[in-house]
Structure 1
Amino acid sequence: MAKLSSVTARALSGELVGYSRVVELQHAGDANGKLLAAFEHWHDPSSPSIYIIRESTDIPLRARLMEKTSKDRGRGGVTWDASDEGVLVASPDNVAAYHSPYSIWDPVGKQMIVSSYNKRRPSNTPYLKPIPPLLLEDRHTVHINLQYGTGNWHWASAPWHAPRSTYCTSNYSPNLLQLPNGTILYSAKTPANIHGGQCEESTGAAAIGILPYKSDFSVTGDAGWIDFDQSWSVSGVQYKLPQPNSDKGTIVLTGSSGWTDYEISADAIVTSSSGVVGLLARATHLDNAPKGITRYTAAIDSNRGDFTLYKVNDKGATILSSKPVPGGIKVNQRYHLSLSFKSASLFATVTRGGGAKTNLAVTDNVLGRGLAGLFGSYGSGGFSNVHIQSQA
């Protein structure tokens, strides 16, 4: 990557966009003719200015995103360290942002949010040859930072999923806009469902990575949820899963890979002749884990009539605790599930009709943070009344 010593900053007439002043960075290019382009959003006079830099290469869609901050506070980013090339916008679990960034300051979540064209594994090879593969989080997520550009970046569920297309550069330069109700409007190019390969602009809004959360599926649909299989659906107040095609099941996620101590709860139901439904938490990316996601899961099984808490990582699924549920698990009957974390302490509960509870409590410190979600396997089912709240 080219050094930033010859980079100059130019304010665009002091234009104010929400809480941000937009500044353009320009670079003359390095010995290989590679260019840099960037946008900075100055959000707080007492905080360092932050630049999100796109490193252009001979193949533009390989451009990784870098981030650097100014050392001076309250001066709009006057002083920059020319020897500092910045750091990759990438999470600790190796989900990195690539190409066509857009960034905003979210005053509700007190976080910086960065959207990008796609998500790949981080790479420091010269000009990304070979180019890292696309990750399952691609087009489903954004990156957030809670420390004014310092410390860790985390990936979080975007308001909606931008589908891939062979003829339309879908999700190119996705735009972000803070709405008065505290949600983030995400707008991007998507393929139009008409003959001729036309594109259209699509948009949708949801809060990003903020707690507490309360589902309102009948109003917002599945906004803010990641459906990797693109198979779940909303019916009234219920988020429904179809019968999975494999024993690995199907999952949906919401929130941030940086969430640590929280509780997720929901009403769950098995709607097929048998099946497994449950909650999951502290979900992060891992290539060789089942479904590519490590997580803790608390689930009820109508076949075995039990309630089980288990961990999923690169070694597969490990049962941490399991108990039979008195009376078993009946299909087409609602059960209230909860799964909470406080440091290494995990606590799960299933509540049956009449208020009878079955509890599981274990200690495990392998998975320390991650998104929340819903899970189903070996059958169909649904979830409603989903709540997620901080336990910090």
Structure 2
Amino acid sequence: MMVKSHWSMLSQLALVCALTLSFFALRAAYEVSPIHAASGTAVGTSLTDYPRVIRLAHSNNSSLPNGTLIASADTNNGQAFPVYTSINGGSSWNYLSTVSPADASAGNCCVALFEVPQQTGSLSAGTLLLAGTIGTGLSIGIWYSTDQGNSWNFLSYVATGGQGSGKGLWEPDLAIDNNGNLICYFSDERHQGDGYNQLLGHVISTDGGQTWGSEVYDVAVNDNNTRPGMASVVKLPDGSYIMAYEVCGNPGCSVHVRTSSDGDNWGNASNLGSIPQASDGSYFTSTTGLVWSPGGGPNGELILVGKYLSNSPNGGSGSTLLTTTDFSGTGTWYKMTAPFNVNIPNSGDHCANYSSSLLPSSDGSSLLELAGQLTADNNCQIVAGSANAGVLPYNDPFSSGTDAGWVTYGGNWSVSNGVYSDTSYSGQGDKAVVGSTAWSNYTLSGDVQLTANDDDAGFIVRVTDPSTGIDALSGYVVGISSGGFYLGRESNGSWTTLGSGTIPGGVSTYTWYHLNIGVQGCTLSIAASAAGSSDQGTLNYTDNGCSSTTGQIGIRTHSGTASWRNISVTAQ
């Protein structure tokens, strides 16, 4: 939604109640909450929601060189926009400066950060811009910094004339269009008299943000109900643009996308665009963020985040992102595990995973996420964490001491000295998964050790629809037990044994065994040995009944306890 929770919402109460009831009825029918050990690192203090992060690429400041991360967010008192920096990829953060609007006694909201990539008007490449809502939706202001965020000056008002909560101006997002002009997109409630409960529009500046042109409607429906908002705009390598946004006023505030050839013209404003959906029909609702990453495909990929993953058979809210290499946004989207899990309460809140921010590494191999997270004492804080960006090759030696990027279902998981362990002894098929459901033909390598006499454990490949339960996934299991190694297929509650083999020297507890598992089409190739030994057992199996040739990877126990290390995945 568009309005800060600590501001008056009386004018929107009926709408919010209706949306909340319908949305949570839908979500409750599907939500199964996974466990996730990695929880992110706190960014500053008193930061609450709308986190934003950028990486400097045009800096001339030796103390804040290219590669430095700059972040900001709303605060719990709504009086200022503090700015933080990180020089280690988001592992730790330091306070840098504060933007304090002179007329913000009623509160600020919805910060945006942008590094100008080229000369536009009077602004040179490397200038930082910070935009935000001022005074409970009364206006949107913009500030600039020529010293990489150390100091800030007011530039202009992008839009004015808001009338406060329920009739305000919200959630700016900045870009440079294909004409080299500065453009600001925002959510606008000023036109309710014309039947637009809320619309998405933009204004253009030809002089570097000193003055702004007339508003253009980008997504707007005058039915007194539909509320498009929270634009997140990305310029793609071919020069086109794609926008992600939520559309409230319909159950669940579903996330939509649409495209533009130049950043200015988005087609018929009454066209709500398309809903990004995974193959299982799941999609995001309520708040969104979109980025382009150079990894994941020959032209890179899009990565999408939303507060809730709806219509998902086995949950995934707060631990799932969606990706695609189809830049129209209308093709298939795939699930990938988020860098860390955000625990979202069953009741609505304005913190957990609310308008999260994503930032791929320069080569697209890893992904940083900033998100709101509720603390143990029910306060909101912004946390940051990074992990593999759902791309191959993948390698996790667990040297960070966390299971960043892994999502666990059941079990008692921990990381120590480069070893990932489950010590629950639950007998419920504890599992942990990582990666993307877009992964197709690949080879997984890793070591597994049984730590209970009656256990069997190993790896899972081509994983989709994981959940808590002994056979609760679709995919293949390659495990070891006292009799050697085995291959089986799980299909959401059913088990089929497909093959088995011996490991030279047998299998003992507290001994490491190395498994090499290749998946190519419907054929699986397995090699198993004691770690460090060249003597191995092998199995090649073609599953004529295979129904999926893509999926994540993971680890799994059956009934006891086990440990894993040195897990890697390479494309075939």
Whether the TM-score (by the shorter chain) exceeds 0.5 is: yes
1:46 maps to 238
1:223 aligned onto 2:404: yes
| 1:378 match: secondary structure | coil
| 1:101 match: secondary structure | strand
1:360 maps to 539
CA contact (8 A) 2:470 2:558 kept: no
Give per-residue Cα distances to partners, 1:21-61, cap 9 Å, x unaligned.
874434554435121114242323525421213110377xx
Q: What TM-score, normalized by structure 1, do the two folds share? A: 0.82
Residues 306 and 156 (structure 1), Cα distance of their counterparts in 2 relative to 1, 3 Å cut = same
Of 238, 248, 252, which residue of structure 2 is paired with 1:56? Answer: 248
| 2:358 match: secondary structure | strand
CA contact (8 A) 2:471 2:490 kept: no
Tell me, which stretches of 5 or more residues in structure 2 are unaligned?
Answer: 1-170, 187-199, 202-218
Of 323, 335, 338, which residue of structure 1 is paired with 2:516? Answer: 338
Residues 333 and 152 (structure 1), Cα distance of their counterparts in 2 relative to 1, 3 Å cut = same
The one-letter code of the counterpart of 1:360 is L
1:189 aligned onto 2:372: yes
Give per-residue Cα distances to partners, 1:179-224, cap 9 Å, x unaligned.
4575221111112123xx2122221111211110111312252111
2:259 maps to 69
Of 272, 283, 294, which residue of structure 2 is paired with 1:107? Answer: 294
CA contact (8 A) 2:288 2:305 kept: yes
Q: What TM-score, normalized by structure 2, do the two folds share? A: 0.58
Deviation at 1:93? 2.1
1:157 maps to 337
1:264 aligned onto 2:444: yes
Alignment of 1:231-242 (within 5 A): 231-242=412-423
2:317 maps to 138
Alignment of 1:1-392 (within 5 A): 14=175, 23-24=185-186, 25-26=200-201, 27-31=219-223, 33-44=225-236, 46=238, 48-57=240-249, 62-70=252-260, 72=261, 75-76=262-263, 78-81=265-268, 84-109=271-296, 110-121=300-311, 135-148=314-327, 149-165=329-345, 169-180=351-362, 182=364, 183-194=366-377, 197-219=378-400, 221-229=402-410, 231-246=412-427, 248-285=428-465, 292-302=472-482, 305-314=483-492, 316-352=494-530, 354-364=533-543, 365-391=546-572
The one-letter code of the counterpart of 1:176 is L
Provide the alpha-carbon RMSD of the alignment.
2.8
| 1:116 match: secondary structure | strand
Give per-residue Cα distances to partners, 1:320-367, cap 9 Å, x unaligned.
111243443100000001211111211112112532111111112322
Tell me, which stretches of 5 or more residues in structure 1 are unaligned?
Answer: 1-9, 123-133
Residues 144 and 320 (structure 1), Cα distance of their counterparts in 2 relative to 1, 3 Å cut = same
Residues 38 and 341 (structure 1), Cα distance of their counterparts in 2 relative to 1, 3 Å cut = same
Give per-residue Cα distances to partners, 1:70-102, cap 9 Å, x unaligned.
3x4xx2352525675432221112332121101
Deviation at 1:243? 3.1
CA contact (8 A) 2:234 2:291 kept: no
Distance in 1 (CA, whole Å) between partners of 2:414 and 2:391 is: 23
Residues 83 and 57 (structure 1), Cα distance of their counterparts in 2 relative to 1, 3 Å cut = closer
Residues 140 and 14 (structure 1), Cα distance of their counterparts in 2 relative to 1, 3 Å cut = closer
CA contact (8 A) 2:420 2:564 kept: yes
Taking every aligned residue pair, what percent have the same amino acid on both sides? Answer: 23
